[in-house]
Structure formats: structure tokens, C-alpha cells
Structure 1
Amino acid sequence: MDSADRESQIVALLTDIQLPLRHYVQSLMPGDSHAHDVAQQTNATLWQKRDDFELGTHFKAWAFSIARFEVLNYRKQQARDARLGLTFSDELESVMTRELAEEPDDFDERQAALEQCLNKLRPADKQLILHRYFQDGTLQAFAEQHGRSVGGLRVTLHRLRATLQTCIERALTPNEPAS
């Protein structure tokens, strides 16, 4: 296989895991606004180390292990800079990583269920969800564009998240036979 074909395959694999990779990094850095930056650094590292990856093996597992090290590097840097008052112990980090690895790999099913559930929403509600979570828009900007209050939008988002969660859980739960 020539290098152009190999790079093309690597690009395709890298593209396919962007959303799961971002979610994985966010799960390791709950509430940390720098998770996006660490995910981008992970992408850069993946690209730099692309020749280390053996095509035909599990790309997602390889990428997630690199992401874990990027998160650890970020935390060490934060601890060094003394800007972070709380750091995870190595033992807690190990437990979190082990539990995340044991999570079922049902991302595609959950993504399909989310799409179905989003399509069941009223157009205005769907627009709000898409603006807030998929376009990284602020509530303030949406409120100004649509003549609504930020507080009202927060209440609506809370209701919509609960509705979507229920819908997704129903979609993922196999129908039990009637008795």
C-alpha cells in the first residue's frame, strides 16, 4: 500500500472518531472548559504518530489511549502551574479509565436514537437544541435572535434534555413481549 492510500485511510478513521473522541475526553475532564483543547491536542498527536498505527487494528482504542495520556499531560501541566486546586490521584484515574473501557460501545445506536428523537421535536425546540449543542451557540445569542429570555431558554432546555433522554432510553430499550 502506498503512503497516499495509507494517509487517506488514516484520515477516514480519524474523521469517523471525532465525536466519540471528544465525548471520551470530556468524560475524563468533566466540567473542564479545556476539554476541547485537549481533544484538539489529541488529534494533533494522533496525526504525528499516525505511522505508529497498524492498519487493521482497533483505531478507536489506539486513539483513546493517546487521548488518556493527553488528559494526564494536561492535568500534570495544570498541577505544575498551580492553577488547579484538585487533581485526580493515579488510582482514581485508573479506576475511571477501566470503567470507561467497560462501557458498551453503543455510540452509533445512541447517535441514531438521538437523531430520531430530535426529529420528533417541534421545529423551534429542535432549533434551540441544535444551536446550543451542535453549533456551540450561546443562550444569550439565541435569546437575542428569538426575542426570548435566557432564563426561559434554560427552563426549555432542561425540559428538552429530559424529553430527549426519555426518548433515547425508550429507543434503546428492546421491546419486551406482551404477556
Structure 2
Amino acid sequence: MGISKSGNDDEIVTLLAGHQAAMLAFTHSLLPGDPGVKDVVQRANLVLWRKRSEYQSGTSFKSWAFRIIHWEVKAYLKESSRKSWLIVDEELTHMVVDSMLEQEEQQPLDALKASLESCLQKLNPKHQRLVTHRYFTRKTLQEFSEEVQQPVTSLKTTLGRIRIALRKCIDAQLNIQSIQKPS
């Protein structure tokens, strides 16, 4: 086994180890009650390792792994159909795969939204009002400026600082979540 072109072997080993339970559960959902589930996961692990140079760090490893498992399940079913009476509806399999991949892609957005809402609650009421006005009403900043009797430039500066604070708060919350739960 040589070193991968991308030099991410340690990362791949960590991701593979951290996702075995999810990969096994996903394979069980595609092959319910089939005794070959562990074999399919093992074959998928080998494919993932062989294709490790194709993985782009920072992307969803789970989605990448699930796609490979999907192809391994198809190969397994084709191979076992010659030996067995088990019949699995291909359309149903595609629906399960699509649903699980869609859910996987939605989870980061849900976490981001929850973090944003939490961080907005931490702002002082004056800053909450400014953010609400700026992003959730159709009024101009000039109109708000007249309401609160502050210069527009001052409000723009404050908004910039608030955005930086929100970004830091969101990043901190997402980092805490990623430490508590493997990606």
C-alpha cells in the first residue's frame, strides 16, 4: 500500500473507523435480514481505501461512503441473485439511498440554522433589534437610523461587528457539536 496522492491516509483511517456503525446500519437498511451485510461493508471498506485519493477533505465522508456502499450492494445483489431466491426491488433501493443521502446533506444545514438562532439569542436586545430590522424587514437602514437617531455609518459598523461575533459564535458551536458527535 503506497501513500495516497492527497496524503490523507491518517484522515481516511480516522473517518473509516468513526463511520463503521453508520455504514453497517446503512447497509442493513439496504439488505434487511441478509447475512452478507458485513461482507458488503468489508468490500466497501476496501473500495474506500483503494479510492482514498479521490476523497476531498472537508466534504461529507458519510455521503461518499454511502454511495460506494450503494454500488457494493448492487454488485452483491447481482452476484447473489444467481445463487439465491432473494429479490430486492431496485427502485425501492434507489429511494432508500436517495432519502438517506438527502437527509445526510440536510443535517449540516439544520445544525447551522440552530447555531445561528442560538447565537442571535445571545445578542443584547439593541443588537437583536438592529439585526431583525436589517435582515427581516423591508425598511431601509436609513429609516432605522432615523428611528434610533444614530448615523447610518455607525449602524453599518455595528452590523459588521455583529456579523463577526455571530460567525465566531456559530463556529464555536459547530466545533463543539463536531467534537461531541463524529461527522
TM-score, scaled to structure 2 = 0.51
Q: Deviations over 1:56-81 (max 9, x none)?
A: 111110001001110010001112x2
Letter in 2 for 1:63: A
Letter in 1 for 2:65: A
Instruction: Kindly name which structure, 1 or 2, has the bigger radius of gyration based on alpha carbons.
Output: 2
In structure 2, what is the equivalent of residue 84 of structure 1? 84
Q: Provide the rounded CA distance (Å) in 2 between the counterparts of 1:87 and 1:8.
A: 39
Query: Cα–Cα, structure 1 residues 12 and 90, in superposed 2: closer, same or farther, change >3 Å?
Result: same
Query: Cα–Cα, structure 1 residues 9 and 75, in superposed 2: closer, same or farther, change >3 Å?
Result: same
Measured after TM superposition, the shift of residue 102 of structure 1 is 4.5
Question: Of 27, 30, 43, which aligns to 1:28?
Answer: 30
Q: Provide the rounded CA distance (Å) in 1 between the counterparts of 2:5 and 2:54.
A: 13
Which one is further off, 92-101 or 5-14? 92-101
In structure 2, what is the equivalent of residue 12 of structure 1? 14
Measured after TM superposition, the shift of residue 95 of structure 1 is 1.6
Q: Provide the rounded CA distance (Å) in 2 between the counterparts of 1:30 and 1:40.
A: 17
RMSD: 2.3
Query: Cα–Cα, structure 1 residues 87 and 12, in superposed 2: closer, same or farther, change >3 Å?
Result: same
Letter in 1 for 2:86: L
**Secondary structure of 2:8's partner?**
helix
Measured after TM superposition, the shift of residue 87 of structure 1 is 2.1
Question: Of 37, 40, 44, which aligns to 2:39?
Answer: 37
Query: Cα–Cα, structure 1 residues 4 and 91, in superposed 2: closer, same or farther, change >3 Å?
Result: closer
Identity of aligned residues (%): 33
Q: Deviations over 1:72-118 (max 9, x none)?
A: 10001112x2x22232232222122223335576xxxxxxxxxxxxx
Q: Deviations over 1:37-65 (max 9, x none)?
A: 11111101100110111111111100010
Q: Contact 2:5–2:53 (CA<8 Å) still a contact in 1?
A: no
Q: Provide the rounded CA distance (Å) in 1 between the counterparts of 2:99 and 2:40.
A: 21
Task: Name the count of aligned residue pairs.
Answer: 103
In structure 2, what is the equivalent of residue 98 of structure 1? 98
Higher-RCO chain (CA-CA 8 Å, sequence separation at least 6):
2
In structure 2, what is the equivalent of residue 52 of structure 1? 54
Query: Where do 4+ consecutive residues of structure 1 move more than 4 Å?
Result: 2-5, 102-105
TM-score, scaled to structure 1 = 0.52
Q: Contact 2:19–2:62 (CA<8 Å) still a contact in 1?
A: yes
In structure 2, what is the equivalent of residue 127 of structure 1? none
Q: Provide the rounded CA distance (Å) in 1 between the counterparts of 2:17 and 2:65.
A: 12
